[in-house]
Chain A
Amino acid sequence: GNSVTQMEGPVTLSEEAFLTINCTYTATGYPSLFWYVQYPGEGLQLLLKATKADDKGSNKGFEATYRKETTSFHLEKGSVQVSDSAVYFCASDSNYQLIWGAGTKLIIKP
């Protein structure tokens, strides 16, 4: 069946460092891909999405490109801030539901 694998955390970085969180998927067909973020004590929020190959989703300085050849959707940000500390989830849609990665906790130290 479909699955999403993302890098294990926690990922700890200093402020202004470059961020990459890896995400790969397996799916039949061409799913849409998503990154959601969960801040402490809150529900998930859609961060960005891409619906077809080579699409780039971007929001709040974060970017991710839908790479069909490598079945990947890695999340990147050029300069992280303390306020980016959260858990990040990669997901793909499969028929009627989202298939979620396990989540990657990101800790940014000032």
Chain B
Amino acid sequence: KAGVTQTPRYLIKTRGQQVTLSCSPISGHRSVSWYQQTPGQGLQFLFEYFSETQRNKGNFPGRFSGRQFSNSRSEMNVSTLELGDSALYLCASSQLPGQKNSPLHFGNGTRLTVT
């Protein structure tokens, strides 16, 4: 079974631009979560989608948005990029929302650098 696939692996953008990251979950998984990982803040929850609906959202500004398609693939978008948005963005999928009985399976991440 293929794992969670994130594209692209690396991305370099300049301040003010916008970026779209893509995530394909494990086949059969309907829940997709996004996390931002930085050396200073660690792992922070961005949002979770299940069956094309955003179920939960972390404490990030409105510049960060996402969506999920009918095939469970998800995209996240960051508009008006800032230097502080440089991070590793991780996508995780699970069969069901919540972690207790449906652990997260992570992709290898997209490394975004904003210059």
A-B contact count (CB 8 A): 52
Contacts of A101 in B (CB 8 A): 42
Q: Check if A110 is an interface residue, CB within 8 A of chain B.
A: no
B100 and A97 within 8 A (CB): no
A102 to B39, CA, bound (A): 9
Chain A, Cβ-Cβ closest to B6: A43
**Residues 21 to 51 of chain A near chain B (Cβ within 8 Å):** 32, 34, 36, 41-46, 49, 51
B100 and A32 within 8 A (CB): yes
**Residues 92 to 115 of chain B near chain A (Cβ within 8 Å):** 92, 97-101, 103-109
A103 and B42 within 8 A (CB): yes
Contacts of B98 in A (CB 8 A): 93, 96
Q: Check if B43 is an interface residue, CB within 8 A of chain A.
A: yes
Q: Check if A89 is an interface residue, CB within 8 A of chain B.
A: yes
Q: Check if B90 is an interface residue, CB within 8 A of chain A.
A: yes
Size range of the interface on A? 20 to 34
* Residue from A46, A49, A95, A98 with most neighbouring chain B CB atoms (10 Å): A98
B56 and A43 within 8 A (CB): no
A101 to B44, CA, bound (A): 10
Partner of B42, one of A32, A36, A95, A100: A100
Q: Check if B16 is an interface residue, CB within 8 A of chain A.
A: no
Partner of A96, one of B55, B107, B108: B55
Q: Given A32-B100, A102-B42, 10 more contacts at CB 8 Å? A: A41-B108, A43-B6, A44-B92, A45-B106, A46-B103, A49-B103, A51-B101, A96-B55, A96-B56, A97-B45
Residues on A facing B (Cβ under 8 Å): 32, 34, 36, 41-46, 49, 51, 89, 93, 95-98, 100-103
